[in-house]
Structure formats: C-alpha cells, structure tokens
Amino acid sequence: MIRISLATIVALVTLSASAAAQEAAQDVSQDTPHPVLRAEAVVTSDIVRIGDLIDNAGIIAKVPIFRAPDLGFTGTVSADDVATAVRAHALYGLDTNGLSEVKVTRAARSIPAKDIEALVAQALSQQYDLGSTKDITITFDREVRSMFVDPTAKGDPRVAQIDYNARRGTFDATLDLPVGTTSRGTLHITGRALATVDVVTIARAVERGTVIKESDVMIDRRPRTELTRDTITDRKQAIGLAARTALQAGHLLHTAELMKPEVVQRNDYVMLAFEVPGIKLTVRGKAVEGGAEGDTIAVLNEQTKRTIQGVIVAPGHVVVPSAGPRLAANFQPTQGSATYDAAPR
C-alpha cells in the first residue's frame, strides 16, 4: 500500500497551480500585443500623448506626457525618457525596437514668405500707381520668413490695410492671417516698394570701341524713375554695336553711349576715292581719325600732304563727296587695274 503524505499532496497541487498560471500568463502574453516604440510621430496639437509615441498603448494611449514642438518644427525625445514617462502610468515591457530616440513633428500649414510679398505687391498695384505686380520690387525692413499656422486654419491671408509714401517709396501694411479653426491673427510689416523695369546693363568692364557681345550685357531691374528716353531695355539694341567710351560693370546702357563699330581706325591706311561720271580716281591715304561705316572722317593724302574729308563706305575705303576737291590722275596704272593713283590739283 502506497502512502502519500499531506505535505506531498500540497506540494503537487502548488506545482500544478503554478504551471497553470504560467501557461495562462503565456497565453495572455501571446494574445496581447506588446507596446512598441515608434521611430517617428506627427502630432496635431501642442501636446504629445502616449499613443503618439507607442503602438499598442491600450487605455492610456490618450494620456499626455510631453509638450509638442512649435508649429511646423520637428524635435526629438530619447527612448529612455519615453520609457520613464510611461512607467508612471503602469505601462511596462516597452519594446524600444532598438531606437535611441523618437522624432516628433508638429503638423502645420505653411504660408510662404513669397506669398506674403505677393500680397503686398498686389495691394500696392491695385491701390497705388505702381504698375503690374511683376514690376514692383519689395524690400522688407525686417526679414519675413515663411509662417506656420494650425493645419485646421481656414481661409487665406489678406491685406487688411496698407499705406504707401510715394516720395519715400515706403509702405506700412497690416495682414490678416488664419490661425486656428475659427480664429485669425494679424501681421504688421513695413518696408520699401519701387516700381521697376527690365533694363540692359554691362556685365563686365569694356574699353572704348569694344563691340558688344551677348555675354557683355545682362538684364537687370532698376527703379522706373532712373529711366530716360534713350535707356536700352532690349539686348538686341546693344549687341553688335561698339562702346563710344569705356564702360564699367553694372552701368545702365543708353543709346548715346553706343555707336556702329569702327571699320577704320586712326592711322589706318585707306583707299581714298573720288568719283565723277565715267571715271573713278583713287589715292592712298592715312586716316587722321577713326570711324564707323557712314561716318565722315579726315584722311591725309600722302602724296600732297593735304587733309581731305571723306565718308567711310567700307573697311579701308573712303569716298570723297562730289562737292569736295577734285582729284586728277597721275596716270600710273598698275597691270590689270582700271584704278589710278591720283592727287588733288
């Protein structure tokens, strides 16, 4: 007959109960998802809740634990700080997923600085005689940066009031901005506004007589008040012409500062011609001054040492007008040529 003591029975019962409890806990553990830390979170309010940072947070998901970053900005919180904060709310066994920190971004709606500038320009264009908005250059007294408002904010910013001093070119404006679902705020800005136009300026310093190429000029915007009748506003008006004087980089071009390129330089040898019906007489001369095609210049007749006025008709060729001094041939023809060296009578 086998005898089992009471103590043995109690021990067996205790072991069985403990095993059952462990199995039950294991089953519950398998059925219930573990809380897991997120790598990133986006929040829409000024506080961060447990559920924003942790998946499977259960009934404490809506409990606030941190302050959110400013609108439109991103901050970080360490995994250790998150674990410490949630432990106070009886959340244990947090799986950090190997993360050392969590990135938290505050959702926001952006109002770009360029949109604010465009609003001011539009208001000035409509209320004051400053031309098209694209021709108005705005300079703020203080830097205007992109603004962030609540993503639920409705409506667009608008200019509530603007004043403009035409003599000084200054403005003072108040903008009405959407802030929240039903609330709005204001932004006060000041600065300068000028009506500008596209003009042609010199891109690099050029010497007198330099033929202007496309790379020598650039389009710039200048105040409308700086324009004169001969201000050049189109590259085509300058390219191919020559500078009458030396021009510095950034100089605003005018038509009076350009000329046709010189085809005869000072001291160049030219063919001086005099034409009458039925005869053409030529003599070699030396240019006393330079000039472009169509210019009248002085040419020294090397045979007579007299200076004659003639019109440049081509590079190296000058024609004496018919009303000028007559030329007589010396009859020293060169073989195969019908042109004669000549000298004035």
DSSP secondary structure letters along 66-98: EEPPPTT-EEEEEHHHHHHHHHTTT----B-TT
Give the pLDDT score at 336.
40
What is the full DSSP assignment across 217-256?
EEEEEEEGGG--TTB--SGGGTTT-EESS-B-TTPBPBGG
Q: Which residues contact 301 (CB under 8 A, 6 or more apart)?
A: 272, 283, 285, 307, 308, 343, 344
Please say whether the beta carbons of 114 and 133 come within 8 A: no
The predicted pLDDT at position 21 comes to 40
pLDDT (0 to 100) of residue 31: 56
Look at residue 5 in the predicted model and tell me its pLDDT.
47
Q: Is 250 left (phi over 0), alpha (psi -120 to 50) or beta?
A: left
The parts of the chain modelled with pLDDT lower than 70 are 1-32, 182, 323-345
Sequence-distant (6+) residues with CB within 8 A of 242 are 209, 210, 211, 212, 258, 259, 260, 261, 262, 292
CATH topology of domain 262-344: SH3 type barrels. (2.30.30)
Do the beta carbons of residue 45 and residue 64 sit within 8 Å?
Answer: no
pLDDT score, position 27:
46
Q: Sheet containing 74-78: which strands, arranged edge to edge?
A: 40-43, 101-106, 74-78
Distant-in-sequence, close-in-space partners of 309: CB < 8 Å, separation ≥ 6: 296, 297, 298, 299, 320, 321, 324
Element (H, E) at 261: none
SS3 state of residue 195 = strand
CB atoms under 10 Å from CB of 159, counted, come to 19
Q: What are the phi and psi torsion angles at 45 (to 5°)?
A: -130, 180
pLDDT of residue 327: 44
Distance of CA 274 to the CA centre of its chain: 59
Q: What are the residues facing 158 on neighbouring strands?
A: 176
| CATH entry 4.10.910.10 includes domain 200-259 | no
- Looking at residue 344, its pLDDT comes to 45
Model pLDDT, residue 93: 87
* CA-closest candidate to residue 224, choices 254, 193, 251, 255: 193
φ, ψ for residue 115, nearest 5 deg: -70, -40
Instruction: Output the pLDDT for position 343.
Output: 45
